[in-house]
Amino acid sequence: MLATSGPDGPVATPVRYYSLDFAVMFTASPRSPKMRNIAADPRVSVGIFAPLHGLASSRGAQLFGKARVLGPDDPEQAPYWEAFRWENEHAERGRPLTEPPAETLVVIDPDRIVYTEHWLRRDGFAPRQTWRPA
C-alpha cells in the first residue's frame, strides 16, 4: 500500500511492487492521482504486511522515503528492470515479451523502515524495530 499526500488529503493506493535490496519500485500512469501527489510532494510511505494468523502474528514493514520518478527514457531505470517482473505485466496487457518495458518507474529508497513482528517478544526483542541507513 502506497501512501501519498495531495491537495485533498492523504491517499492510500494498492500497488504491485517489486524490490531490489531495500528499494521498492512500481510502475504507474503519469496521470494517476498518486503520481500527481508525488510530483507535488515526493515524501511517501509504503506498508507491506504478511497475512495475519491471529493478533500475535502481526508482521509487516513501513517504509518511509522520497519517491524518484524515472521516465521511460531515463538510463537510471536499467538496473531496476532485472528485479522487476515486467514480463507479467506485459502478458496481462497483451504486449509481446520481445519488447522491453517503456514505462514510468517509481523507485523508493527508504530513509527509515519500521518492522513489526510480535513474535520477536518471545526472544526478548521489542516487537517494533527501526532501521535507518548508516
Q: How confident is the model at residue 122 (pLDDT cuts 50, 70, 90)?
A: confident
Q: Is the pLDDT of residue 56 over 70?
A: no
Mean pLDDT, the chain, as a whole number? 90
**pLDDT at residue number 55:** 65
Would you state the cell numbers that stand for residue 129, as one nine-digit string? 524495530
Least confident of 1-10, 76-85, 123-132: 76-85
Question: What are the residues whose beta carbons fall under 8 Å from the beta carbon of 85, sequence distance 6 or more?
Answer: 18
Residues in contact with 16: Cβ distance below 8 Å, sequence separation at least 6, in sequence order: 26, 89
Mean pLDDT, residues 7-12: 91
The pLDDT value recorded for residue 38 is: 97
* Mean pLDDT calculated for residue range 5-26: 93
**Burial of 11 by CB count in 10 Å (0-12 exposed, 13-18 middle, 19+ buried)?**
middle
Domains of the chain and CATH, by start: 2-131 (2.30.110.10)
